[in-house]
Every structure is written in structure tokens, then in C-alpha cells.
Structure 1
Amino acid sequence: MTSELRDECRVTVDGVAPSLIRMLRNAADIATGAGRNWVGIEDIYVALTSDELAPMWWPREGKEPIVKGRRGGIAHSELEGETVPLSYSAFQRLTREWLPGPTPKVGPTSPVTVSYELSGPHEEEFRRMIERR
């Protein structure tokens, strides 16, 4: 870590999908564009809802949901139609439906891990926040 006068945080995640790397890089670009040297949850929300990283599917008025990730991709005509506005609780249910089931022959052989290093004047406060479960 570089300075005791500034808060620093380094995170390493082992075992992620390439799409998550794209999303994190998008969030980093959003933070940098806003003049910040850190990525926050708000940058993640903006990155998740950006056109580049559109949701896997979304309910639409009178049509089948938009489906992302199937073979052959999404045809432009499939994106037509008004999407259905969702309440926050409906959005939460929808995102839970996006979770894939087990993929035993895809990805790393061991479970995902997240490690971090902290330094700076708020190190202990940040550590308590991170470790709270």
C-alpha cells in the first residue's frame, strides 16, 4: 500500500466470470469519469444497468422476455417492444431468477475467494464494515 495519509484498498477475487471483469472495468471507467480514484457500489449499479451490460432478460408488454446469452445472440427485432417497469422488490426477484444453477465442468475447480488489503486512517473502520456479516 502506498500512503498512511490516504485510505487504500486492494481486492483480489479468484474465480470470476469474464462478464464480471467487464462490469468492474466499466464501473472503474464510470468512477474515473466522475473524478474519483475509487469504485463504489453506486458505480456498480450504473455499470449493471448500462446498455453495454444489459440484463440477461427483461419483461416486456405483450411479448416474450428479452433473452441474452443464448446461442446466436439477440436479433435486433427481438429488442423491440416496451419493457415493463418494475418495483424494487420485483427487480430483486428478477435478478434472483437470473442466477444460473451449478456448472461443475465450467470455471475453476475450487470455490471463488475474495481477499483484501487495507491501509490508511480509516483502516479499522473499513475492516469492521467489511467483516460484518
Structure 2
Amino acid sequence: MGSERDECSVTIDGIAPALVVLFRRAAAIAAEHGRTWVGVEDLYAALAEDERAPLWWPRVGKPRRTRGVSVAVLSTELPEDTVPLSYNEFRDLVNEWIPGPTPEIGPEDPATVTYQISGPHAEEFTAMIERS
């Protein structure tokens, strides 16, 4: 393997500008932790640290809230009356946050992702991506 390094570059067309900010913050978090690559963990950390990020959270004794009703938008400093969630409940709640169609916003065509991988593990990484 010598000094050859794994490299992966990704191009995403058709994303919201807020994602550029999120990806940049994730890259900064990775660098702050001494890494030259960005992982899923860095993305989670970037999502969780932004107090401006909207979080819709179930609250004790109140009906489930979604985008379709009066939504309580909370900061990352959640009030005490929120409901603790299991992983499956959290995953279901996150899926409720996904907005419906926005035909007047964004590009005409659906978003696309392209990538290039090189290095000693390129074949393994490509196989992993293509299986997903």
C-alpha cells in the first residue's frame, strides 16, 4: 500500500443551501477531532449542535405533533416535558419531519449524487456504496 491514501469525492446537485452549511460544519467537526475524512458521526454532531435547527418533539400529555399541525419548534435545549424516545420511535419521528412536495422550490430535476473513489480500498468502498 505504501503512502497511497484512500480518496473519495462526492458531488451533489440539487440540495438545499442549508445542507452546504451542515456539510461544512461536519467537515470542521471532523478536523477538530483530528480526522481528514467526514463520517456519519460528524453529520449527526453537526445536526445536533445547531440550536437554530428545528426539532419537533413529542411532549408529555400532548398529542403527537407533525408539520401538518401547530408545530412546537424547540431548540437543542429541550424543555423538561418532552417524551424520551426509543431508537425506533426517534426514527419514526424523524420521518415525520420530512416535508412533502415543493414544486415551486429547488431545481426542476431530482437531486443526484456522483462520486469518485481511489486508493487501496477503492474496490471495497465502491462495492459498499453500490450495495446500499
Q: Shorter chain as normaliser: what TM range?
A: 0.7 to 0.9
Quote the RMSD (CA, aligned, Å). 2.3
CA displacement, residues 74-112 of structure 1 (integer Å, 9 cap, x when unaligned) = 7x9xx7543221110010010000010011110001110
Structure 1 runs of 4+ off > 6 angstroms?
none
Deviation at 1:18, TM superposition (A): 1.8
Aligned to 1:107: 106
Q: 1:82 to 1:26 in 2, by over 3 A?
A: farther
Determine if contact 1:8/1:118 at 8 Å carries over to the other structure.
yes
Amino acid at match of 1:116: Y
Q: What is the DSSP-based 3-state SS (H/G/I as helix, E as strand, rest coil) of the residue aligned with 1:106?
A: coil
Deviation at 1:118, TM superposition (A): 0.8
Matches of residues 17-56 of structure 1 in structure 2 within 5 Å? 17-52=16-51, 54-56=53-55
Determine if contact 1:7/1:121 at 8 Å carries over to the other structure.
yes
Amino acid at match of 1:121: P
Q: What is the DSSP-based 3-state SS (H/G/I as helix, E as strand, rest coil) of the residue aligned with 1:110?
A: coil
Give structure 1 stretches of 5+ with no counterpart.
Answer: 69-73
Aligned to 2:5: 6
Aligned to 2:115: 116
**What is the number of equivalent residue pairs in this alignment?**
122
Deviation at 1:53, TM superposition (A): 5.3
Deviation at 1:55, TM superposition (A): 3.9
- Of all paired residues, the percent bearing the same amino acid is 57
Deviation at 1:20, TM superposition (A): 1.5
Give the TM-score normalised by the residue count of structure 1. Answer: 0.80
Choose 59-68 or 31-40, whichever is displaced more.
59-68
Give the TM-score normalised by the residue count of structure 2. Answer: 0.80
Q: What is the DSSP-based 3-state SS (H/G/I as helix, E as strand, rest coil) of the residue aligned with 1:11?
A: strand
Give structure 2 stretches of 5+ with no counterpart.
Answer: 66-70
The whole-number CA distance in structure 1 between the counterparts of 2:34 and 2:124 is 24
